[in-house]
Amino acid sequence: MIKPDRPTTTSLPQYLEQHSRWIIEIPARILIVLVVAFVVRALLHRMINRMVRPVEQGGVPPVLRRLRHQSFATNLFAESGRLHERRAQRAAAVASILRSGVSFVIFMIAFVTVLSEVGIDVAPFLAGSSIIGVAVAFGAQNIIKDLLAGIFMIMEDQYGVGDVIDFEKATGTVEAVGLRTTRLRDVNGTVWYVRNGEVVRVGNKSQGFAQVVLDVPIAAAADVARASAAMRDVAHTMSAEEGWSELFLAEPEVQGVEALTLDSTTIRVVARVRPLEQWRVARELRQRIRARLDRLDIPAEPESVPA
């Protein structure tokens, strides 16, 4: 009679020897890959943060040294205390983009390496990822366009929080600048959300300096030389007064006759002022000029002819 074979028993050392690759070798390699990925990520993030750190001491971070400001705008922002804030915003945005990109690349490489360690053929995965990436790129091309436009807007310092800008279809004060959208509030209090990729041109009314341009109409029969002298005196007096002198960046000037009709003559007054102060200066200057012309009996409208 043939006795059935007894099941062979495997001791723990034999089991470990037979499956050492899956129990010890592969987990150890995966652990090493993950540790190296996190260490490299931490080192690169630290390097990026060190590139941005000089902003805290008021210097120019290395990440922005190639993106130079115009000298006049730099001096002006430095005097008004806004240059440090603008640099900090730009450096933080660029550093965030760099950190996100570095993390994505490192973890993708680590993920593919782990798949290859467990015996999965990564070629079909990479091919499938490429196809999915192309499909997503076509489907989300507007989002990608917005993100790229936002990155360049921030890096080139086209505008920042607090600036008054003209987006063609929307004009207002910038409240938030993101990579995909920009939020601004107009003079009526309406909040506009503008996609960065849809912006063709931007008019920044707060960068460098602002210009006050007043076209003052007087009656055609009025003395132009006398009216011009009065406007010049009012503008120069205001630019020398305490409380207003720091707003003027140059001596205001009367450029002369801008328009001429049968009923009126328009005289232009121009003054260069600090950004965001042009409207306040223009209102005050307009009021003073009107009051001076009234005292000199220089009419703003042609006198009516009796029937």
**DSSP one-letter string for the chain:** -PPPPPPPP--HHHHHHHTHIIIIIHHHHHHHHHHHHHHHHHHHHHHHHHHHGGGGGTS--GGGTTSPPPHHHHHHHHHHT-HHHHHHHHHHHHHHHHHHHHHHHHHHHHHHHHHHHTT--HHHHHHHHHHHHHHHHHHTHHHHHHHHHHHHHHHTT---TT-EEE-SS-EEEEEEE-SSEEEEE-TTS-EEEEEGGG-S--EESSSS-EEEEEEEEEETTS-HHHHHHHHHHHHHHHHHSTTTGGGBSS--EEEEEEEE-SSEEEEEEEEEE-TT-HHHHHHHHHHHHHHHHHHTT--SSPPPPP-
Asked whether residue 78 carries a pLDDT value surpassing 70, the answer given is: no
77 confidence band (pLDDT: 50, 70, 90): very low
Query: Regarding beta strands 164-166 and 191-195, do their DSSP bridges make them parallel or antiparallel, or are they unpaired?
Result: unpaired
Amino acid 238: pLDDT: 92
CATH architecture of 19-139: Orthogonal Bundle (1.10)
* Strand 253-260, strand 210-219: pairing: unpaired
Which of 146-150, 154-158, 271-275 ranks highest by mean pLDDT?
271-275
The predicted pLDDT at position 73 comes to 46
Average pLDDT over residues 105-123: 81
Q: Indicate if the pLDDT at residue 136 is higher than 60.
A: yes
Percent of the chain residues past pLDDT 70, beyond the cut: 71
Band of pLDDT at residue 68, cut at 50, 70 and 90: very low
User: Which of the pair, 64 or 121, is modelled with greater confidence?
Assistant: 121
What pLDDT is attached to residue 206? 78
Segments of the chain assigned to CATH 2.30.30.60 = 158-204
d(CA 86, CA 161): 8
Q: What is the pLDDT of residues 294-306, one digit of tens each?
A: 998 888 765 544 4
CATH 3.30.70.260 describes domain 210-295? no
Q: Picking from 124-128, 158-162, 230-234, which range would have the lowest pLDDT averaged per residue?
A: 124-128
pLDDT value, residue 286: 92
Contact between 230 and 218 under an 8 Å Cβ cutoff? The reply is no
Q: What is the CATH number of domain 158-204?
A: 2.30.30.60
In this structure, how many other beta carbons lie within 10 angstroms of the beta carbon of residue 305?
5
Range list for CATH 3.30.70.100 in the chain = 210-295
Answer yes or no: is pLDDT of 253 > 60.
yes
Instruction: Name the range with the highest mean pLDDT among 78-87, 147-156, 160-169, 282-291.
Output: 282-291
What mean pLDDT is predicted for residues 265-273?
92
Tell me the pLDDT band of 75, cut-offs 50, 70 and 90. very low
Q: In this predicted structure, which of 55-69, 194-208, 240-254 has the lowest mean pLDDT?
A: 55-69
In the predicted model, what is the mean pLDDT of the chain? 78
Confidence at residue 284, expressed as pLDDT on a 0 to 100 scale: 93
User: Residue 97: is it exposed, middle or buried by C-beta count within 10 angstroms (0-12/13-18/19+)?
Assistant: middle
Provide the whole-model pTM.
0.56
- At 22, the pLDDT band (50, 70, 90 cuts) reads low
